[in-house]
Amino acid sequence: MLKDFVKGIWRENPVFVQVLGMCPTLAVTTSLINGLSMGLATTFVLIASGLAISSLRKVIPDQVRIASFMIIIASFVTVVKLLFEAHIPTISTQLGPYLPLIVTNCIILGRQEAFASKEPVSRSLMDALGMGLGFAFALVVLGSVRELFYQGTIADVEILGSWYKSMIIMVQPAGAFISLSILVALFKKLSSRG
């Protein structure tokens, strides 16, 4: 049970190890808060659809499983989108189209196919929680790095002093690719030692 949870965060981290869900990973991580909100929204969808699909796994016929998964995932994504727009409109504007695009995040469909549709509810919950938090963790790290080198702040708290000259490239796509590749390399180095 615990192993199902931990693997998503470390050994099978969806971003750093499996390199999945790159679209939101690269696009929204311009700051810690954006990365965190995207990570948590995705975690919610993973858990909710994982629970639903795992409990329905014996009912859903094999031939229409992908269609059924998509209905379930898309419904939860729409719920998240509406709740974000209603309660945290500023973050919803920041994330823009990437919030509804969680539907197409391959981590989500991937976990249903690989895990939730075969395993009992409790294990699927742990798996979804682990993968979701692993994804959120990666987005937070990436968001913090980019925000720090862009304007010298993390979560809008000044870290580097006023001497720091902002690096515009860090909030642009090129900066996303550069930071992500360095982080993936670092992660590889760290995990191969242990």
Residue ranges that bind another protein, judged by CB under 8 A: 30, 59-61, 63-64, 67-68, 71-72, 74-75, 78-79, 82-83, 85-87, 89, 93, 96, 150, 166, 168, 171-172
* Three-state DSSP class for residue 158: strand
H helices, E strands: number in the chain: 8, 2
Nearer to another protein, 165 or 193 (CB): 165
Q: Give the burial string for 132-147 (b: 16+ CB within 10 Å, else e).
A: bbbbbbbbbbbbbbbb
**Which residue, 186, 142, 172, is CA-closest to 31?**
142
Q: What share of the chain is helix, strand, coil (3-state, %, to 5)?
A: 75, 0, 20
User: Which 8-state DSSP code applies to residue 62?
Assistant: G
- Distance of closest approach, residue 22 Cβ to another protein, in angstroms: 19
Nearer to another protein, 53 or 141 (CB): 53
- Distance of closest approach, residue 183 Cβ to another protein, in angstroms: 20
Nearer to another protein, 8 or 143 (CB): 143
C-alpha–C-alpha distance, residues 46 and 116, integer Å: 10
Nearer to another protein, 6 or 103 (CB): 103
- Distance of closest approach, residue 72 Cβ to another protein, in angstroms: 7
- Distance of closest approach, residue 117 Cβ to another protein, in angstroms: 13
- Distance of closest approach, residue 150 Cβ to another protein, in angstroms: 7
Nearer to another protein, 90 or 192 (CB): 90
* Three-state DSSP class for residue 66: helix
Contact 21, 109 (CB under 8 A): no
Nearer to another protein, 85 or 156 (CB): 85
- Distance of closest approach, residue 87 Cβ to another protein, in angstroms: 7
Contact 16, 183 (CB under 8 A): yes
